[in-house]
Structure 1
Amino acid sequence: MERSWGSINSADRGWYVSARQEQREDAEEEEEEKEQEESSPLLRNGPQIQEYSGVSFSFSVFNLMNAIMGSSILGLAYIMANTGIIVFSIMLLIVAILASYSVHLLLTMCIQTAVTSYEDLGLFAFGSFGKVAVASTIIIQNIGAMSTYLLVIKTELPDAISQFLTGDYSGSWYLDGRILLIIICVCIVFPLALLPKLGFLGYASSLSFFFKAFFALVVIVKKWSIPCPLTLNHGGEFFQISNITEDCIPKLFNFSKESAYAIPTMAFSFLCHTSVLPIYCELQRPSKSRMQNVTNMGIALSFLIYFLSALFGYLTFYGKAESEVLQGYSKYLPHDVVVMAVKLCILFAVLLTVPLIHFPARKAMIMAFFPNRPFSWIHHFLVTLALNIVIVLLALYVPDIRNIFGIVGSSTSTCLVFVYPGLFYLKLSREDFISQKKLGACGLLLFGILVGSLSFALIIFNWINK
C-alpha cells in the first residue's frame, strides 16, 4: 500500500522529492530524444520516405560488415605473432568496443545536428577548418586503403598466373607484379572509377564479404595441412626452416618492435565510421537504437571473423607468419587448389572494391577543396586521375603492406575512429562535463591521441633504426 505524504518524515521527504524530480527529468530527456529522432531532417525526407521503405536490419548489418572488413584481415595473423594470443585478443576486443562506442557518439550528434556526412559534422563542430580536416583525413585514409588492395594485386596476381603455366617463365613481363598492377589500374580500375555511378559494382562488391568469410574458413582448415616444424619444398627437396621445440609453441604474450603495428592495424580494421551515416539514412524504420544494434552486430561478427582468421593463421605459421598471410600459403602450399581459389576470390574482391573506394575519396576532396563547384567532366577526370596516380605510386614503391597499415592506422584511422567522435561530442553536446557520455568522449579522445601518437612515433623509430 502506498504511504501517505503525512506519514513520510522530513528526512525522507527530501529524498522522495529528489527521486521524483530525477524521474521527471529522465522522462523529459527520453521524450526530447524521441522528438529529435522523429523530427530530424536526416530521417524525414517527405514523400521519399513513403516511396522507399528502406534497407532491412539484416542487410544493413551486411552492408556495414562489408564496409568494415578490408585488406587488414590479411595482416592480423602477423600482428598476433608479434603480440601473443592473449594480448592480441584483449587489444582487438578493446578496439572493437571503442569503435562501437564512437559510433554511438556519432549517432547521437547526428540526431542533434541532422547532418548526413562525416565532413558536415566537422563543419558543424569547427566550421570550415573542421570540414577540411575531416575531408583530408578521409582522403588519406581511403588512399591508404586503396594502396593496400593494389599491394595485394601486385604480390598475389603473378603467383596466381604462374599456377596456370607449365615450364619456366621466370622473367616474363606477365609475371612482373609492377607491370601487371599498372596494366590493371589503367585498363580496369581507372575507367570504372571514372563512371559517375557504380551501382552495379556496389552489388558485385557485396561478394567481397563472402570471399573474406571463405578466406577465414580456409585459414582454419589449412592449419592442419601445413605441419610444424615448417618445411619448404625447393626443387623436390624439403628443407626444415623451423625448430619444433621453439617455433611451434604458441606464445600467449610476446612483445617486439613490430608490436607497434598492432593498434594501428586494428583501428584500420574496424574503420566504418564514414559509412555509418549513409547506412543510417537508408535503414528501414530508422532510429538511433536500431542503428546502434546494426553497428553492434556488424562489429561483433567482424570481430569473430578477424579473430578466427588471425588465430588459425598464427597457429599455422607461428613466428614465421608473413605481414600478408597469403604469401605464407604461396610459400608452403604452392600448388594447393583451395588456396588458389582463395587467392582468386581475394583478387576479384580487390578488383571490384578499389573503384568504389575512389568515390568517397573523390567526394571528400571535392567537398574540401572545390566546394560549390558545378559538375564538370574535366574536373571529374583530373581528380580521379590524381587519386589513381597517388595510389599506384604507393603500391609500387611501398615494400610491405604493414607499413601502410602502421602509418595510416596510427594517424587517420585513429582520428576517424577515436579522436574526431570524442572531440566533436565534447564540442557539440550540451551536457555537463561530468556527465557519463562526456567523460566517455574525453576518454575516447585521450585514448586516440595517446595510442596514435605513440604508435606513430615507434613505427618511425623502427624505420630509422633499420
Structure 2
Amino acid sequence: MWKNGANYSVQTESEYEPIGEESRPLLAAQGVQARGASFWSSAFNLMNAIMGSGILGLSYAMANTGIIGFSILLLVVSSLAAYSVHLLLLLCDKTGVNSYEALGERAFSRPGKLVCIMCCCSLSLAMSTYLFILKSEMPAAVTGFMSTETSGKWFEDGVALLILVTLIVVLPLALLPKIGEFLGIHHGELFSLSLSLCIFPINDCVCALQSAYAVPTMAFSFLCHTAVLPIYCELHRPTKQRMQSVANVSIFLSFVVYLISALFGYLTFYTHVESELLLGYDTYLPRDVVVMSVRLAILLAVLLTVPLIHFPARKAVLMLCRGEREFSWLSHSLSCFFILTFVLLLAIFVPDIRNVFGVVGSTTSTCLLFVYPGMFYLRISSEPMRSLNSAGAVLLMVIGLVVGVLSLCVIIVSWAQGP
C-alpha cells in the first residue's frame, strides 16, 4: 500500500518506514510499484521551497553592493547552499534518517534535535515578511482600482486591512488540522513572484552599513534545507547523485531568477530602490496595468502562502512544547492563535522588512544553511579531518559563523545609529 505517492511501506495508517534503494528489487519481484516523484517534479518542489519573499529584498541588496559585488555574493551563497545539501545527503545515506531534526538528534542527541526544532520555530518569522508585504501592498492595490482619488478612507490603512484579511482568510486556513490538497496552491507562488520580472526600468552606489543586509537576505532566500531530505525520500530512484542533481538544478534556476529580478529592480530605481521592491512603483506608476497585475498576483500568492508556512511552524512549536503526542484540538488552536498573533504584531510594528530579512538571515538561516550541516557532518562522519568533505564542513561552519555574527553586529550598529 502506498500513501501520497511517497516511497513508504505502510503497515497501518500510522506506521510506515522509509524504503531504501536496496529494498526496491525485492519489491519489484513481488509486483509492487515503488515509483515516487519524478526528477523535474522534485526539482520544482525544491525550487518552490527556495523561492519566497526574499526575492523582493534582493534589489535593495544589489543597490548596496553593486551589480558585480552582488553577483559574486549571490554565486558564493548559492554554491555554499549546494555544498551544504551535499553534506546533508551524505549524512542521510550514512544514517538512514530523513529529517533535519533527526540528523540533529543523531549528531548531538536530544539537545541537537531541540536546537533544530527551535530554528524551525524561528522560521515562522518568515511569515511576518509575507504579512508585511500584505500590509504595505494592499492599500495600493485597493486604491489603484478606484476611479477617483481617495483620502482618509479606512481601506487606505494597511494595518486595518491586514488584520481583516488575517481573520477572514488566514486564520480559517491555518486552523485546518492537515494541509491536504491545499498544498497544490503553493505552486502558484513561484510563478507569481517571478512576474516581477515583467516590470522594466523606468528611472534614472554607495556602499554603507546597509550592505550588511545583503548576505543575510541571500541566505534567507536560499534556505530550503529542511525540505531537502523529505523530497529525497519521495524521489523516484532516490540515489545521492540523483538528488544532488535535483538540488543543483533547483538552486541554479533560483539563482538565475534572483539575479535577473534583482537586476531589473535595481535598474529601475538605482540607489532609491526600496527594501521591499514593489513599494517604489507607487511613486512612478501608481495605476499602471502591468504593475497592478503583478501586485495582485503577488498578493494572492503571499496570502495563500502564509497558512502553508504556518503548518510546519506550528508543528515545530508543538514538538518543542509537547513532544510527539496525539492530536489535540486545544493545543492545535492555542498554538495557531499564538503564532499568528506573534507574527501579526511583528508585521504591524516592525518598520522595515529588511530588519526581518537581516535578523533571520544572519541567525536562523546561516545556522540551517551553513553551520549545522558542517557540525552534523563532523560529528557523525568517520572521515579524517584532512579529507575533502571534512575540510569543506569546517570551512562551511567558519563562513557561517563569521558571516552570521558580523552581519548581526553591523545590523545592530546600524539600528543604534538610526536613520
CA-atom RMSD in angstroms: 1.9
How far residue 46 of structure 1 moved from its aligned partner, in angstroms, is 6.9
Matched residue, 2:328: 376
Listed as ranges, the matches of 1:55-70 within 5 Å are: 55-70=37-52
Q: Return the match for 1:294 from 238, 246, 255.
A: 246
Q: In the alignment, is residue 100 of structure 1 matched against residue 82 of structure 2?
A: yes
**SS at structure 2 position matched to 1:129:** helix
Distance of 1:45 and 1:83 partners within structure 2: 55
Q: In the alignment, is residue 179 of structure 1 matched against residue 160 of structure 2?
A: yes
Matched residue, 2:212: 260
How far residue 44 of structure 1 moved from its aligned partner, in angstroms, is 10
Q: Which amino acid aligns with 2:320?
A: A
Listed as ranges, the matches of 1:75-154 within 5 Å are: 75-141=57-123, 143-154=124-135
How far residue 446 of structure 1 moved from its aligned partner, in angstroms, is 0.5
Distance of 2:363 and 2:311 partners within structure 1: 21
Distance of 1:111 and 1:365 partners within structure 2: 28
Q: Return the match for 1:419 from 366, 371, 376.
A: 371
Q: In the alignment, is residue 348 of structure 1 matched against residue 320 of structure 2?
A: no
Q: In the alignment, is residue 403 of structure 1 matched against residue 358 of structure 2?
A: no
How far residue 49 of structure 1 moved from its aligned partner, in angstroms, is 11
Q: Return the match for 2:178 from 197, 205, 210.
A: 197
Distance of 1:262 and 1:381 partners within structure 2: 37
Q: Which amino acid aligns with 1:325?
A: L
How far residue 45 of structure 1 moved from its aligned partner, in angstroms, is 12
Matched residue, 2:10: none
Q: Deviations over 1:14-66 (max 9, x none)?
A: xxxxxxxxxxxxxxxxxxxxxx96348xx999799945521111111111111
Distance of 1:400 and 1:61 partners within structure 2: 32
Q: Which amino acid aligns with 1:272?
A: C
Matched residue, 2:4: none
Distance of 2:209 and 2:80 partners within structure 1: 25
Q: Which amino acid aligns with 2:190?
A: F
Distance of 2:147 and 2:180 partners within structure 1: 39
Counterparts in 2 of 1:215 and 1:398: CA distance versus 1, 3 Å: same
Distance of 2:125 and 2:257 partners within structure 1: 22
Q: Which amino acid aligns with 1:256?
A: A
Is this contact kept in 1: 2:195–2:294, CA < 8 A?
yes
Q: Deviations over 1:134-167 (max 9, x none)?
A: 10011112x2210000000000011000011133
Matched residue, 1:363: 315
Is this contact kept in 1: 2:223–2:369, CA < 8 A?
yes
Is this contact kept in 1: 2:203–2:269, CA < 8 A?
no
Distance of 2:69 and 2:251 partners within structure 1: 19
Q: Which amino acid aligns with 1:160?
A: A
**53-62 or 148-157, which moves further after superposition?**
53-62
Q: Which amino acid aligns with 2:325?
A: R
**SS at structure 1 position matched to 2:65:** coil
Matched residue, 1:457: 409
Q: In the alignment, is residue 38 of structure 1 matched against residue 49 of structure 2?
A: no
**SS at structure 2 position matched to 1:285:** coil
Listed as ranges, the matches of 1:262-281 within 5 Å are: 262-281=214-233
Is this contact kept in 1: 2:129–2:356, CA < 8 A?
yes
Distance of 1:381 and 1:45 partners within structure 2: 44
- TM-score normalised to structure 2 length: 0.92
Counterparts in 2 of 1:49 and 1:192: CA distance versus 1, 3 Å: farther
Q: Deviations over 1:334-357 (max 9, x none)?
A: 110011000000001001111011
Distance of 2:281 and 2:296 partners within structure 1: 13
Matched residue, 1:432: 384
Q: Which amino acid aligns with 1:83?
A: T
Q: Deviations over 1:45-103 (max 9, x none)?
A: 97999455211111111111110000011111111010111111100000000000000
Q: In structure 1, list runs of 5 or more residues that go unmatched.
A: 1-35, 229-250
Is this contact kept in 2: 1:37–1:288, CA < 8 A?
no
Listed as ranges, the matches of 1:158-173 within 5 Å are: 158-173=139-154
**SS at structure 2 position matched to 1:206:** helix
**SS at structure 2 position matched to 1:431:** coil
Distance of 1:116 and 1:162 partners within structure 2: 48
Distance of 1:46 and 1:260 partners within structure 2: 53
Counterparts in 2 of 1:44 and 1:300: CA distance versus 1, 3 Å: farther
How far residue 440 of structure 1 moved from its aligned partner, in angstroms, is 0.1
Is this contact kept in 1: 2:374–2:394, CA < 8 A?
yes
Is this contact kept in 2: 1:119–1:364, CA < 8 A?
no
Q: Which amino acid aligns with 2:125?
A: G
Q: Which amino acid aligns with 1:135?
A: I
Is this contact kept in 2: 1:419–1:446, CA < 8 A?
yes
Q: In structure 2, list runs of 5 or more residues that go unmatched.
A: 1-18
